[in-house]
Structure 1
Amino acid sequence: MMEPDVSGRELRNVRLLVAYDGTHFRGFAESDGVRTIMGALTEAVARITRVSVESLELVGSGRTDAGVHGWGQVVNGLIPADTDLYRLTASINALLRPEISVREPAWVEPDFSARFSATSRTYRYDIWNDRSPNPLLARHAWHLGPSLDVDAMNNAALDLLGDHDFSSFCRKPRPGPGYDEPSMQRRLQAAHWTSEPWHDLDPSPLLRFEVSATSFCHQMVRSIVGTLVDVGFGRLAADSVPAIIAARNRNAAGQVAPPHGLTFHAVSFHGIRWDA
């Protein structure tokens, strides 16, 4: 079923898979007066489909902070039903390249929501663990010189799996007047470190943390990465994570990793939402 817009044109729900380099953006979500991924994407789609920016409501699967990147971000919204999706994609990419790229456009059911239909989200965090920095990864990986104990970091990550209150790893939003404090309860489905191949280097200094959860609260992944790095340097014991979780206090966890090593990698729409 399609809806008409104010001009009488029929509208249809579209889904776009979006990748972006977040280096020079003030995050993903639209915000007045600053350059954001969603702001740039909304302006491009409105211009190409000849609708007003004010009437175009695009929804993303998740927000990312300033400097964070995306590979598998999903966006949906209502656009004119007569739009050629592949021409739309090519036009968006021509306008926004090289920082933003759209691929795999598809019409979807009217009730599909990139945010509320998602059942899990996956992030990746890259670390270049070598005495010498890597200029080719400077915008996309955290450079750490001293050697990290990856086995200890993986042992610590195991205690993060499952249902927990992640208050110790989250930046809590202030509830509005009359509203309860939001829950920091989340279900972590996967969390592990691997060494990724890099040219002919053996062993490779490129370390990658991949983490999946039903959803994430603000700065959760970066706080987890920073805490596990503290474990890798021996500043925290590998078995300290349960006590950190139980504390429900941000001061109990380790440092917050910088944003540029983080990438919103993928979204899943299979299965049932944990809070359904």
Structure 2
Amino acid sequence: MEFGRRIFLKRAGILAAFGITSAAGFELFKPGELDAAEVLPAPDRFRGKHWGMVIDTRKFHGEADVKPIIDACNKAHNVPHIENNQNIKWIWSTGFHNAFTDQENEFLEEKLENTPVLVLCNHCENPPCVRACPTKATFQRAEDGIVLMDFHRCIGCRFCMAACPYGSRSFNFADPRKFLPEKLSNPEFPTRTKGVVEKCNFCAERLAKGQIPACVEAAKDDALIFGDLADERSPIRKALRENYSIRRKPSLGTNPSVYYLV
């Protein structure tokens, strides 16, 4: 009981320091909702020291190949679809030039020119978003390197969005719950409210249950490989040893944990 009281007072104190009692009109705590950023470890959970992902762009030939992956993520995390420029994105597809702005090549291979590239939070080893967040709503989990969001602490300042060089975060300008069906695709995952930033969490809530990320589960033919980058024997390390890979904007020193095979 004392532990819970200390947590409450700590969060309340952080918000009070900014003169805020509620963030953009939403409750500090939502009774009965699971906080995905504070998933308790389960006995059968996946364990890793540095989770990462490999995306094999050679396995994608059109939007039909990436849509099931995007849909799986949206369903697992109750991501709404909003028909305007305020749409929320956890994982989405874009063109090669948009994803790899530092890969200057006037004569890029035609296949790459037309290949949809999946992009998401890179769960950087050195995440600038974590340093920019004034309330620690964005934080890096020490045990495995995943960059997570505590929706209750987010005050909607969007400093993390300005700090992220990959455009991997979305801001809820409108109430996202208005765009969700009455019957949620995953009632166990918390819905968000207006004024909150959100992004990919590497399915931390699924890892805690011993399940792989939803996007990896939906991918076919090992198009997405998820694993422990610290384990030399892991499939993800094998894929990186045997194939040429690139990362998004590596020169910035963020050390992304998402690799692309091209």
Return the TM-score normalized by structure 2. Answer: 0.24
Q: With the length of structure 1 as denominator, give the TM-score of the two structures.
A: 0.23
- Structure 1 or 2, whichever has the larger Rg, is 1
The structure with the largest helix share of the pair is 2
